[in-house]
Amino acid sequence: MVIKEAKFLMSNTRVDQCPVADKPEYAFIGRSNVGKSSLINMLTEQKGLAKTSSSPGKTQLINHFLINNEWYLVDLPGYGYAKVSKGSRDDWRKMINFYFQKRENLTCVFVLIDSRHDPMKTDLDFINLLGNIGVPFVIVFTKTDKQSGTKTDSTIAAYARKLRESWDELPRMFKTSAVDREGRADILNFIEEVNEQLKNQPEE
C-alpha cells in the first residue's frame, strides 16, 4: 500500500466521541516506550504525526488519524507506566475495555512488544485479554535493529511458547524497526489485504 495521505483527525477520552465508525479501524497499543509513536510515524512517513512518549499522569487519549481517506489508524494510550496511580490504571482499563467492546469498526489491534525483552506479564495479560474478549489482533515486535536477528527470533519464540500454554492458534507476528524500516511493507500490505477482504464481503 502506498500512503498518499495521513492526517490527524482528533483526540478523545470518550469512545462515543470518536469519528463516525464508517471505515476500517486499526489500533496500535503497547507498553510505554515500546516505540509506538516511532512505528506510526515510520508507517505513515510523517515524522511528527504521532507524538512521542507522553508522560504518565497526562490525560490518556484515543488519537484518530485518517489514512488515504480509506481507513483509520488509532494511537491508543499505553500501559505499564511504573509510576501511575491505581486510579489512572483503572481509568485506562475502563476506557480501553469500552473502546474494544463498543468500537464496531475496529478491525485489528496491533499489540507492540519490545523485541529485546523476555515475555513480560503485563504484555501477556493484555494479549490474553484481547483473546478472551475476541478482538482480532496481531503482535508487532519493535526495535529489531537494536540487536541480532537471532535474539529477536528467540524473543518471538519465547512469546509463542507462552501463548501456546493458553491458545491453540498463534496470532500473526511482525518484526519491525523504525530505524531501518523493517516490517513497513509487511504491515501495510496486511492492512491493504484486510481492507480488500472487507470490501468484498457481502453487506449484512
Q: Which residues bind ligand GDP (CB under 6 A)?
A: 30, 32-38, 52-53, 78, 142-143, 145-146, 177-179
The residue (of 94 and 181) whose beta carbon lies closer to ligand GDP is 181
Q: Tell me the H-state helices in the chain.
A: 36-44, 86-102, 121-133, 149-164, 184-199
The residue (of 18 and 29) whose beta carbon lies closer to ligand GDP is 29
**Which residue is it, cell 490527524?**
8
Q: What are phi and psi of 134, to 5 degrees?
A: 80, 30
Q: How far is the CB of 181 from ligand GDP (least distance, A)?
A: 9
The residue (of 155 and 195) whose beta carbon lies closer to ligand GDP is 155
3-state secondary structure 176-194: CCCCCCCCHHHHHHHHHHH
Q: How far is the CB of 122 from ligand GDP (least distance, A)?
A: 14
- Which cell goes with 128? 490474553
The residue (of 78 and 171) whose beta carbon lies closer to ligand GDP is 78
Contact predicate 186/174, CB 8 Å:
yes
Q: How far is the CB of 173 from ligand GDP (least distance, A)?
A: 16
Q: How far is the CB of 198 from ligand GDP (least distance, A)?
A: 28
